[in-house]
C-alpha cells in the first residue's frame, strides 16, 4: 500500500500537562473462565467434515470454495489447511476465497495480502486463492434488498463456510458474529456489507439473517465449520453444520462463546490505555464488549466498565493503517495519527454506516504526553490516585497493568504478581512499561 492516503499531524505539546504526576502500576494476571482447549484441532476438523452429507454425494473433480476472513483466529489456518487436505483426498479441487466484506479497502489484491499476513497463502494452505470483488445477484429480501454472493464462490460446485462464532461488537441478539455473518457479509463482499449495513441496526438485526437464508438456499453452500474459542483464544469447539442448520448452530454456540470472552473485571476505570488496536483484533479495532463505548446513535450503549478517558498508543501491523475504532478514543499520538490510511478507514466506516468510529481524537506529540493528558483530564486532583489500566489490546487480557487504586477492586478476578513501580519512558516519550506478552 502507498502512503498517499496518510495525514500529516504536527507534534503538539500541551504545557499544562508537562508536570502531571502518574500513578505507579502493578502487573495483574486475570482469572478468566476457560473451557478446555481441543487437543487435536486437525482431528476435530476431520471428524466434523466426515459428517457432511453433501460432500459424501459430491462428484470427484468438484471445485470447492473455502471462506477465509480478515480476523486473526488462532486455530483457523490449521482448520482450513486440514479441510483442503481432506477435500483433496476425496478427489475434489479446493480453493480459498477472501470473505471479508469491504476490508482491505474493498480491493481484491489487498484482501489477498491480508490473508497472507494471517497465514493463508497458496503454499501454506495447499490450494489456490481466488480473490475478486465481483458478485452475482442470487435473490431479494422481503425489504427489497438485493442479495449478492461472491462470483468465484457462486461458480464453484460447493462452498465450505468456516468462521469463528463470537459476540458482535455492536449488537446483542440470538445470532451475532459467526457462520451466518460469513455467509451474508463475508461472501456478500463489499456490496453485501454496504447493503446490509445501509439500514443501520435494522440491517444487521433483520436483513442479515434473511440474506443468509436466501444465500443458503440459492448458492452452492455444502457445509460449514464453526469454531468457538476459549478465553485463551484456543479452539474449544469445532463443529460442523449442514447448510440448513447454520443459523441454529450459530444461536446454540453463541452463549458458550460469550461465556469464554475475557472481560475487564471493573465497573469503572478513570483512564484506560490501549497499547494497540487493529482490524485483526476486532472489527471495531478494539472490542466494545471490553471497553464499552459502542456509541451507535439510536442504540443503548452498555458502558461496562465506565471508562472516563481512553487513549490508543499504536496500530497493529496487520491493520495496514486502518484505524477504525479511533473514534472511541479520547487521545492518541502523532505517530499513530500519521500512520492512518484514511481511505481504508473511510471505506470501512461508510460501508458499515457507523461513521463516528473513524473520528480522530486529540493528537499529542508522544505516548508520555498522551498518558499524562488522559490522567489529567479524568477528574482527579491527584494523578497518583487515578484508577489506571493498561492493556496490550482488547484481545489480550491475560496480564494487564493496574494502578494500586484500581488493583484494590480486583478481588478474586485476578492476582497481583509484582510490586508497584513507576511508569518509565524513553527519551522520545515512548512508554517502556508495557504489558507482558
Residue 357: its pLDDT value, please? 87
For 335, other C-beta atoms within 10 Å of its C-beta total: 18
Residues 183 and 69 in one domain: yes
Query: Hey, what's the cell of 112?
Result: 489477498
- Choose among 252, 341, 299, 296: nearest CA to 6: 341
Q: Which are the contacts of 187, defined by CB distance < 8 A and separation ≥ 6?
A: 67, 97, 99, 149, 150, 153, 159, 161, 215, 219
Q: Of 202, 237, 259, which one is at a domain's C-terminal end? A: 259
- Choose among 178, 113, 161: nearest CA to 319: 113
Q: State phi, psi for 11 to the nearest 5 degrees.
A: -85, 100
Q: Report the distance separating Cα 284 and Cα 282, nearest Å.
A: 5
Q: Report the distance separating Cα 208 and Cα 193, nearest Å.
A: 9
Residues 246 and 274 in one domain: no
Say what percent of the chain tops pLDDT 70.
95
Residues 252 and 110 in one domain: yes
Residues 296 and 195 in one domain: no
Predicted structure pTM score: 0.80
Q: For the residues 138-147, what does the mean pLDDT come to?
A: 92
pLDDT digits (tens, 9 = 90+) for 225-241: 999 999 888 999 999 99
Query: Hey, what's the cell of 311?
Result: 487513549
Q: Angle, to 10 degrees, between the axis of helix 76-89 and the axis of helix 41-50?
A: 50
Q: Range of 28's domain?
A: 15-32+262-416
Residues 78 and 217 in one domain: yes
426 located within any domain: no
Residues 248 and 329 in one domain: no
Whole-number Cα distances in Å, 224 to 13, 45, 186, 276, 323:
53, 11, 14, 32, 31
Structurally, the chain folds into a number of domains equal to: 2
Q: What angle do CA 266, 268, 274 make, to 5 degrees?
A: 80
303 located within any domain: yes
pLDDT digits (tens, 9 = 90+) for 177-229: 789 989 988 899 888 888 877 777 666 677 788 889 999 999 999 999 999 99
Residues 197 and 280 in one domain: no
Q: Report the distance separating Cα 96 and Cα 93, nearest Å.
A: 10
Q: For the residues 341-368, what does the mean pLDDT come to?
A: 91
pLDDT digits (tens, 9 = 90+) for 401-410: 999 999 999 9
Residue 1: its pLDDT value, please? 39
Residue 206: its pLDDT value, please? 76
Q: Of 206, 224, 259, which one is at a domain's C-terminal end? A: 259
**Bridge partner residues of 221 (DSSP):** 159
CB 407 within 8 Å of CB 29: no
**Bridge partner residues of 136 (DSSP):** 149
Q: For the residues 265-288, what does the mean pLDDT come to?
A: 93
CB 255 within 8 Å of CB 35: no
- Choose among 394, 110, 130: nearest CA to 262: 394
- Is the pLDDT at 329 greater than 70? The verdict is yes
Q: Which are the contacts of 94, defined by CB distance < 8 A and separation ≥ 6?
A: 63, 64, 65, 66, 83, 84, 87, 88, 127, 160
* Size of the chain, expressed as the number of residues it contains: 437
Split at pLDDT 50, 70, 90, the class of 382 is very high
Amino acid at each position: 500500500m502507498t502512503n498517499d492516503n496518510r495525514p500529516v499531524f504536527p507534534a503538539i505539546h500541551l504545557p499544562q500537562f508537562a508536570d502531571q504526576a502518574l500513578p505507579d502500576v502493578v502487573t495483574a494476571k486475570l482469572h478468566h473462565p476457560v473451557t478446555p482447549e481441543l487437543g487435536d484441532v486437525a482431528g476435530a476438523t476431520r471428524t466434523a467434515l466426515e459428517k457432511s452429507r453433501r460432500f459424501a454425494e459430491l462428484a470427484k473433480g468438484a471445485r470447492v470454495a473455502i471462506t477465509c476472513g480478515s480476523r486473526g483466529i488462532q486455530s483457523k489456518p490449521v482448520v482450513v489447511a486440514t479441510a483442503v487436505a481432506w477435500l483433496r483426498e476425496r478427489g475434489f479441487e479446493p480453493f480459498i476465497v477472501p470473505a471479508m466484506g469491504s476490508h482491505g479497502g474493498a480491493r481484491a489484491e489487498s484482501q489477498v495480502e491480508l490473508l497472507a499476513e494471517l497465514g493463508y497463502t497458496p503454499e501454506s494452505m495447499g490450494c489456490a486463492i481466488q480473490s475478486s470483488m465481483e458478485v452475482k445477484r442470487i435473490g431479494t429480501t422481503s425489504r427489497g434488498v438485493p442479495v449478492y454472493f461472491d462470483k468465484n464462490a457462486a461458480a464453484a460446485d460447493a462452498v465450505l463456510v468456516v468462521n469463528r462464532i463470537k459476540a458482535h461488537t455492536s449488537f446483542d441478539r440470538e445470532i451475532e458474529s459467526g457462520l451466518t455473518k460469513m455467509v451474508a457479509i463475508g461472501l456478500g463482499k463489499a456490496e453485501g456489507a454496504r447493503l446490509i449495513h445501509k439500514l443501520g441496526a435494522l440491517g444487521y438485526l433483520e436483513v442479515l439473517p434473511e440474506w443468509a437464508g436466501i444465500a443458503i438456499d440459492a448458492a452452492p453452500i455444502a457445509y460449514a465449520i464453526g469454531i468457538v474459542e476459549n478465553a485463551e483464544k484456543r479452539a474449544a469447539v469445532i463443529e460442523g453444520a449442514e447448510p440448513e442448520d447454520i443459523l441454529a448452530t450459530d444461536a446454540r454456540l453463541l452463549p458458550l462463546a460469550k461465556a469464554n470472552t475475557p472481560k475487564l473485571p471493573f465497573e469503572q476505570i478513570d483512564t484506560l490505555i490501549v497499547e494497540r488496536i487493529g482490524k485483526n483484533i476486532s472489527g471495531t479495532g478494539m472490542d466494545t464488549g471490553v471497553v464499552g463505548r459502542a456509541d451507535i446513535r439510536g442504540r443503548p450503549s452498555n458502558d461496562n466498565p465506565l471508562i472516563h478517558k481512553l487513549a490508543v498508543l499504536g496500530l497493529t501491523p496487520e491493520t495496514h493503517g486502518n484505524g477504525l475504532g479511533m473514534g472511541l478514543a479520547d487521545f492518541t499520538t502523532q505517530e499513530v495519527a500519521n500512520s492512518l490510511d484514511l481511505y481504508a478507514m473511510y471505506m470501512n466506516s461508510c460501508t458499515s454506516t457507523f461513521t463516528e468510529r473513524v473520528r480522530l481524537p486529540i493528537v499529542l506529540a508522544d505516548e508520555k504526553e498522551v498518558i499524562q493528558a488522559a490522567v489529567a483530564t479524568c477528574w482527579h486532583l491527584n494523578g497518583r490516585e487515578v484508577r489506571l489500566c493498561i492493556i496490550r489490546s482488547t484481545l489480550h487480557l491475560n496480564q494487564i497493568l493496574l494502578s494500586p487504586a484500581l488493583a484494590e477492586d480486583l478481588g478474586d478476578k485476578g492476582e497481583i504478581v509484582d510490586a508497584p513501580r513507576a511508569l518509565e519512558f524513553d527519551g522520545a516519550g515512548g512508554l517502556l512499561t508495557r504489558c507482558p506478552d
